[in-house]
Structure 1
Amino acid sequence: MNNQQWTEGFTLTMQRGPFQNNGASPWYTTVSVGTPGQPLKLALDTGTNITWITSSLCAPDRCQHYSAGRFDYQASSSFAFTDCLQRPYSFGPWGTLQVESGSDVLSLDNITLPSQFLLAADYTGTQFRQLDWDGGIGLPSSSAYLDAGSSFVFQALMNNGKIDPQRPFVTFDWDPISRHGTCQMGTVDASKTQGPHLFLPWSHYSKARGVDYIWSTPLASYAVGEDVLAENLTFALDSGSSQFKGDDPLMRQTLERIARGGNPEVILGFADGEITLGASLYNVLIEAGPDQGKTLPQFEPLGLSELVLVGSLVMEHCYTVYEYRVVQCRPGAYSLAPVGVWLFNRPDGPQIISRASSRCFEAKARTLSTEKRGFSPLAAAAATAQPMSVAGTWKNDYGSVMTLTVTGNEVAGTYQSSTGSTGRYAVTGYQPATLPSQEKGLPVALAIEWHSLGNEAADPSWNWVSGLCGQLHRVAGEDRLALSHLLVATSDFPELADQGTYVDKLSYRRVSGEAVEAFHVTPALMSQQDNPLSGTWLAADGFSLTLQARGSNPRGLGYVSGTMTTASEQTDIRGFTDITAFTAGLSQQSVSLTAVQLDGETVLTLAGSLDLKADELTLLGMFTSSTTASESYVQTRIKSLKFSRGLGAGGTKDNVAPSVQV
């Protein structure tokens, strides 16, 4: 075999077999097993916790697979059974192996490694017939999750002095055009870690037992085209897989949406980054097997709730780095825990990382830990704390639920209130694009329009808006969102509230398994509307606003965009206004605006109303800056601002007719 050893780590060459419609990766490396060595095609599989090989324990008419290789244990002088009782090993809905345990040597280039592995004596599942390889070398997320009777090859190489424990990396670089690639162990090619990248911090997947070993991470949203099909899921990157697999309803909805036509993109939204796959990437030509010659979308239900798992469909377009944390138990003995997965766009391929992560990768030696402690999912999640973001689902002390997504520094989402009116309401706002230090909180500014997105009967609160401003802090590994709340009521709601502005403090905790259906504002939903708020507004202390109000039809929602100018900067501003105020006979038109200042650590909310008779705009500003949790009592500064209309071209007032129809 033509694997090349490196001074720091080593590189295994990999080949791409024919793409088959069975969900397994077509990529493998050739490894010699036994004495003398028997060449076998093995996957380097981050989606399993075993090392296994098809063997001569299989009857001649069993264990049929495309690669057709099998290990003849009787022909190896170094082989020994470690347990000759057969047992099943399940790959879930994909299939099941009947295995026995044995030991022998694996030859990785000129490194001979004594190993324990599982010998397949039978397969159950039709997918095995299309398998391009004869077995797999498992690269689980942690040595704590290794299956008994099987070696963790990467850990064994480290413990045998073949890999520097301060370079705990496994990398994949696959070129689908040449059908050749590499897997590096114990080193990183720093030249390939440039440009747009994505960091996926490891987080324990707990919806199904027995799959703790997968490289899982929180997935904020999963969209096909403009349809957000699910939020608050788990994502896993599995080098032993090819197609998208996972949650049954989600995979079926994806196929149904694709069947409607239009070649929609599949968009994976993470708290700190995004992957976008076009139809030309997920529609793949089947090169062998029963579906040979067909081009098919690669999505398959797998029976794992709230999980989206994928392999080569993504990895063929990225340089991929799996990173471990190393604990030194004693000299020469190491245990491994997961840090996460790094993805970098291949410069010569499609740029599937459509929004990069803020956390940067450094191809340098890692620090060893000597602290002996029990490995637990909660401890690992805290140790690998993901960058803070408001993306996700939140519930406050009143029971109201808010689901948010983040694109760059822009926040969008939906709110479902448990107080006053019931229904779904649109949310917009900002969080800084630059993340604060670990000690400080993440400032957040949000606006809500209390005009229902559903078909409920209208009530007075449909004319109201809210402005919220505060910080997200991580306390003892838990995300907590504390927001000051201004509720602007421009009409009386009998037995609930009179006209006025109400102040409250709302506390939210991140929740899973509970979400509000997302409603995303896009330009296609907007139509230009004349509105008294549109124009330029000036305040006495140098603040000015240039605003444009737009309305959606038929929902009657009022969106506002524009700029805010101060003595030191100009920044974008966005929010909501009640475009039905005039036709409803109200004297006040509610307004809630949000912005993020250029310093990157301050956000603001301006909430109040436009006096339709006096043509004056009165807003209460909340300015929140990043602070530590202990100093959060001075996080938000309040400022009252009164604006008058500015002059347009020719010295005339920049005004529009107050009659608005939706």
Structure 2
Amino acid sequence: MTVITNHGFNLPLKRGPFQSNGATPWYCDIGIGSPKQTLKICFDTGSDFNWITSSLCAKNSCKHYANKRFDYQVSNTFTWRSQTTQSVSFGPWGTMSVETGNDKLTLSNNNPTLTIFNDIYLAKNYSGQQFEELDWDGGIGLPSRQSTTATNTNTPTPFRRKAFNSNESEPFHFFLNLMQKGLVSKDNPYISILTAGANDNSSTSYIGFGTLDNTYASSLEYLFLPWSCYQQEASYLWTTPEATISVGGEPIGTNMFFALDTGSSQFKGDNRVLSRVFQLTDNGSPVVTITIGNPGDTHYGRLEISSDIYKCRIEAGTQAGKTISQFQGLEGAENILLVGSVLMDHLYTVYEYEAVSESEIRPKGIWIFNKPNGPKIIIGQQPTPASIFLR
């Protein structure tokens, strides 16, 4: 059920089968257009654009597990922004051909007044096994900040990254749009995520906009990961610096950027580092440790990840039935370590912005908390509760 307060709202998350394509199995049912067409949409902190599989796709293209398409021709609120075809990078998955439109999003079936108009890419072509194993029909980007850097489509990128057309002004920033429309208070600039793992029925799964879960108000088992820009071309990623990843006590990658990406599932990043971590965890079960900062620093923290977290059973798709260590190296992702639901299913996560003005928000960082009855991933305690609960 959708929960709405005077600060914001929560939307229930649903889970598809865990597949071996690196994408999260979590999504929301969102209505698009008028009359609304309900599709499965991922809220994605690893991208800076909104997209939907559409009726522009030929019958034999845009195959994906969720298997729905938005038919813009039957929506009486749909408008075109640009019918110029652009290419959007999905990293190792390939590219997606899109056109740009605008339409109404109905965010809640229980509250039909919870609506917003937003720009969206209409996919007209994509292909590949990873897309075919996708549990959702489209994604809404929740970037740390909006990138205005033009994409050089001739340069491969390991990240999901929007196209850029200098003749368009594309206000894709969904969360800023929520604040400007008064659906989220500028005093509560939070996106929160709580999901249950495949074998965890103890908690409700949801994404919150402008809300916090008071269950964690007195918790001391948390970390704050201050935002720092990884690189200009990927400034929309929620990254924090000075991360080290170790396997069985042996440092494999140091001085890396660490990111939490709600659109992903597995650990991904620097090809040399992640390929080595996969080798060390594929046939064994060592503890993987991630440290942030240096001991004694204000934001120092340590995460310990056991094999029952990073080794996952594939539930559908080409690798169904196998249990696979979830570490994947990516070409072109030097010096970054990114992870999604494989780790986040065991944490409560809050992305915090700072509202600078009516037209600008800036990233402050990410708060992560151990679940009360979950594994102790965050090692150690803080002296006082998290400041986001003290306002």
Q: With structure 1 as the length reference, what TM-score do the two structures score?
A: 0.52
CA 1:86 to 1:358, structure 2 compared with 1: closer, same or farther past 3 Å? farther
Letter in 1 for 2:173: F
Aligned-pair CA distance for 1:360: 4.9
Q: Partner of 2:209 in structure 1?
A: 185
Q: Partner of 1:292 in structure 2?
A: 320
Residues 345-360 of structure 1 mapped to structure 2, 5 A cutoff:
345-356=370-381, 360=385
* Structure 1 residue ranges (4+ consecutive) displaced by more than 6 angstroms after TM superposition: none
2:305 pairs with 1:273: no
Q: Partner of 2:159 in structure 1?
A: none
Query: Aligned partners of 1:58, 1:127: CA distance in 2, in Å?
Result: 17
Residues 354-503 of structure 1 mapped to structure 2, 5 A cutoff:
354-356=379-381, 360-364=385-389
Are the equivalent residues in 2 in contact too, given 1:274–1:356 (CA < 8 A)?
no
Picking from 233, 236, 245, the partner of 1:213 is 236
Query: Aligned partners of 2:119, 2:271: CA distance in 1, in Å?
Result: 35
CA 1:357 to 1:199, structure 2 compared with 1: closer, same or farther past 3 Å? farther
Q: Partner of 2:29 in structure 1?
A: 30
Aligned-pair CA distance for 1:252: 1.1
> Can you list the C-alpha shifts for 1:7-59, whole angstroms capped at 9, x where unaligned?
32111000111000000001111100000000011001100000111101000
Are the equivalent residues in 2 in contact too, given 1:86–1:100 (CA < 8 A)?
yes
Q: Partner of 2:265 in structure 1?
A: 242
Q: Secondary structure at the match of 1:264?
A: coil
> Can you list the C-alpha shifts for 1:464-497, whole angstroms capped at 9, x where unaligned?
xxxxxxxxxxxxxxxxxxxxxxxxxxxxxxxxxx
Residues 504-543 of structure 1 mapped to structure 2, 5 A cutoff:
none
> Can you list the C-alpha shifts for 1:617-638, whole angstroms capped at 9, x where unaligned?
xxxxxxxxxxxxxxxxxxxxxx
Query: Aligned partners of 2:62, 2:215: CA distance in 1, in Å?
Result: 42
Q: Partner of 2:172 in structure 1?
A: 151
Query: Aligned partners of 1:356, 1:96: CA distance in 2, in Å?
Result: 43
Q: Partner of 2:281 in structure 1?
A: 258
Query: Aligned partners of 2:30, 2:283: CA distance in 1, in Å?
Result: 45
Query: Aligned partners of 1:292, 1:180: CA distance in 2, in Å?
Result: 26
Query: Aligned partners of 1:302, 1:205: CA distance in 2, in Å?
Result: 16
Aligned-pair CA distance for 1:277: 0.6
Query: Aligned partners of 2:12, 2:289: CA distance in 1, in Å?
Result: 31
Deviating more after overlay: 239-248 vs 120-129: 120-129
> Can you list the C-alpha shifts for 1:449-473, whole angstroms capped at 9, x where unaligned?
xxxxxxxxxxxxxxxxxxxxxxxxx
CA 1:359 to 1:119, structure 2 compared with 1: closer, same or farther past 3 Å? farther
Residues 2-401 of structure 1 mapped to structure 2, 5 A cutoff:
2-109=1-108, 110-143=113-146, 149-176=170-197, 177-178=200-201, 180-193=204-217, 194-206=219-231, 210-261=233-284, 263-271=285-293, 272-303=300-331, 304-328=333-357, 333-356=358-381, 360-364=385-389
- Unaligned runs of 5+ residues in structure 1 are 367-662
Aligned-pair CA distance for 1:195: 3.2
Query: Aligned partners of 1:84, 1:196: CA distance in 2, in Å?
Result: 49
Q: Partner of 1:536 in structure 2?
A: none
Q: Partner of 2:158 in structure 1?
A: none
Are the equivalent residues in 2 in contact too, given 1:33–1:71 (CA < 8 A)?
yes
CA 1:267 to 1:13, structure 2 compared with 1: closer, same or farther past 3 Å? same
Are the equivalent residues in 2 in contact too, given 1:200–1:342 (CA < 8 A)?
yes
Q: Secondary structure at the match of 1:167?
A: coil
Aligned-pair CA distance for 1:180: 4.9
Are the equivalent residues in 1 in contact too, given 2:347–2:371 (CA < 8 A)?
yes
Number of aligned pairs? 358
Q: Secondary structure at the match of 1:162?
A: coil
Query: Aligned partners of 2:93, 2:384: CA distance in 1, in Å?
Result: 35
CA 1:358 to 1:242, structure 2 compared with 1: closer, same or farther past 3 Å? farther
Q: Secondary structure at the match of 2:105?
A: strand
Q: Secondary structure at the match of 1:64?
A: coil
Aligned-pair CA distance for 1:281: 0.5
> Can you list the C-alpha shifts for 1:526-555, whole angstroms capped at 9, x where unaligned?
xxxxxxxxxxxxxxxxxxxxxxxxxxxxxx
CA 1:4 to 1:187, structure 2 compared with 1: closer, same or farther past 3 Å? closer
Are the equivalent residues in 2 in contact too, given 1:202–1:215 (CA < 8 A)?
yes
Q: Secondary structure at the match of 1:58?
A: coil
Are the equivalent residues in 1 in contact too, given 2:220–2:386 (CA < 8 A)?
no
Q: Secondary structure at the match of 1:175?
A: coil
Aligned-pair CA distance for 1:359: 7.7
CA 1:159 to 1:267, structure 2 compared with 1: closer, same or farther past 3 Å? same
Query: Aligned partners of 1:220, 1:162: CA distance in 2, in Å?
Result: 35
Deviating more after overlay: 285-294 vs 353-362: 353-362
CA 1:358 to 1:339, structure 2 compared with 1: closer, same or farther past 3 Å? farther
Q: Secondary structure at the match of 2:251?
A: strand
Are the equivalent residues in 1 in contact too, given 2:46–2:143 (CA < 8 A)?
yes
CA 1:62 to 1:356, structure 2 compared with 1: closer, same or farther past 3 Å? farther
Q: With structure 2 as the length reference, what TM-score do the two structures score?
A: 0.88
Aligned-pair CA distance for 1:348: 1.6
Query: Aligned partners of 1:41, 1:149: CA distance in 2, in Å?
Result: 23
CA 1:239 to 1:338, structure 2 compared with 1: closer, same or farther past 3 Å? same
Q: Secondary structure at the match of 1:210?
A: helix
Query: Aligned partners of 2:237, 2:127: CA distance in 1, in Å?
Result: 22
Are the equivalent residues in 1 in contact too, given 2:52–2:138 (CA < 8 A)?
yes
Deviating more after overlay: 153-162 vs 191-200: 191-200
> Can you list the C-alpha shifts for 1:310-356, whole angstroms capped at 9, x where unaligned?
0011110111000001111xxxx231110000000011211111244
> Between Structure 1 and Structure 2, whose CA radius of gyration is higher?
1
CA 1:318 to 1:232, structure 2 compared with 1: closer, same or farther past 3 Å? same
Are the equivalent residues in 2 in contact too, given 1:117–1:150 (CA < 8 A)?
no
Aligned-pair CA distance for 1:255: 1.6
Aligned-pair CA distance for 1:220: 3.2
Query: Aligned partners of 2:12, 2:356: CA distance in 1, in Å?
Result: 29
Are the equivalent residues in 1 in contact too, given 2:99–2:122 (CA < 8 A)?
yes
Query: Aligned partners of 1:243, 1:7: CA distance in 2, in Å?
Result: 35
Letter in 2 for 1:169: Y
Aligned-pair CA distance for 1:144: 5.1
Are the equivalent residues in 2 in contact too, given 1:199–1:359 (CA < 8 A)?
no
Q: Secondary structure at the match of 1:363?
A: helix
Instruction: Calculate the aligned-residue CA RMSD, in Å.
Output: 1.8
> Can you list the C-alpha shifts for 1:162-206, whole angstroms capped at 9, x where unaligned?
111011000001112239501110121122241300111001102
Deviating more after overlay: 240-249 vs 110-119: 110-119
Q: Secondary structure at the match of 1:18?
A: coil
Answer 1 or 2: which has greater strand percent. Answer: 1
Letter in 2 for 1:347: P
Deviating more after overlay: 139-148 vs 250-259: 139-148
Letter in 2 for 1:182: Y
> Can you list the C-alpha shifts for 1:261-286, whole angstroms capped at 9, x where unaligned?
2x101100111101111011100000
